[in-house]
Amino acid sequence: MNATQSLHELGQSLWLDNITRELLRSGTLARYVRELSVTGLTSNPTIFEHAIGHGDSYDARIHVLADAGLSGEDLFFELALEDLTEAADLFRPTFDATRGVDGYVSLEVSPMLADNAAHTIQAANRLHRQADKPNLFIKIPGTPQGLEAIEQVIFDGVPVNVTLLFSRAQVLAAAEACLRGLERRLEAGLDLKVASVLSLFVSRWDVAVKQEVASPFHNRLGIAIAMRTYKAHCDLLLSKRWQRLVAAGARPQRLLWASTGTKDPAAPDTLYVQALAAPGTINTLPEKTLLAFADHGRVERPLPPDGGYAEAVIEEFRREGVDDDALAARLQLEGVDAFATSWHALLTRIREKCAAPAGQR
């Protein structure tokens, strides 16, 4: 049994944080499902910008869609849904076997909608209808306007992956939005089996503070923030409010560790995967990190549900001058901006491919 299978046995889901047409069509993703216990997949604008913008595997299809009158965002979402619905079918047996707990793929709404709740609601419902797959999450950022949209989208029956969360407070605010959406469904007599996951970004904390703290503090803050957040989420799931919904048919919400590739070349390449082993959670891994963990990772003690040493570590960083609340807000804004930059680059590459002369297609 390799390390990825051991994590699966522990009760943690491993999702691949990548998608390309080549990954699907070559059978590589199917092999990861068989051999590495991969049970889901996530995508974002940066992943698609790299997949579509580098290489020519999408070029022919781009021109077919352009000739059919599609352009810009409409053309991109058609391409993305072709990939993600194919991936959703691959994970459908897992979805069915787990009764809708696992086996999901994720598609993000346009990052240009991060500050527009009404348009996010419209886009989320439209994309979910267009995909017509029960195991497709719509990713919505946990910005203030995003949270407003999330409550309504959950009420509308659309599964949601709340993205760009960086702190306990942001995760609990997102959980609250999901709870309100489910409670409204309960009051309306609607089915409560509308899944949601909360994606906490981890490694970006350590990148952000690396130049501000001495080397003994490197690569410690992200894990402490995750441990603190895990405790809060475990407590929430045990609350009377959440248990009332579970008793009425709701699925327990899951916490997802995002940004778990090691950014520091001096740190172990499996750092965040080994540190964040926890039953009932999800770790979405870059392909390189997945392969590294399968090769030489180790499953050690799972995260303590009581938060362990998290608060002591965070307090050490505060004494070093790190304001974790302010940094969480900054990281979320930077995350929205980074995805917007990738979005513009993606649409530019699609326009360039559409305009390429026939001999260069």
pTM confidence score:
0.96
pLDDT score of 329 more than 60: yes
Average pLDDT, the chain: 96
Residues 25-44: what's their mean pLDDT? 97
pLDDT at 360: 53
Active-site positions read 139
H helix or E strand, kind and range, residue 93 = helix 72-97
DSSP secondary structure letters along 97-155: HTTTSS--EEEEPPGGGTT-HHHHHHHHHHHHHHH--TTEEEEEE-SHHHHHHHHHHHH
pLDDT score of 18 more than 60: yes
d(CA 298, CA 274): 6
Return the percentage of the chain with pLDDT > 90, whole number: 96
d(CA 139, CA 117): 13
Return the percentage of the chain with pLDDT > 70, whole number: 99
pLDDT at 358: 54
Residues 290-311: what's their mean pLDDT? 95
What is the per-residue pLDDT across 61-111, written as a single tens digit (0 to 9) for each?
A: 999 999 999 999 999 999 999 999 999 999 999 999 999 999 999 999 999
What is the per-residue pLDDT across 168-207, written as a single tens digit (0 to 9) for each?
A: 999 999 999 999 999 999 999 999 999 999 999 999 999 9
Tokens 């900054």 correspond to 330
Q: Which structural domains are found in the chain, ordered by start?
A: 3-360 (3.20.20.70)
pLDDT score of 361 more than 60: no
pLDDT at 256: 98
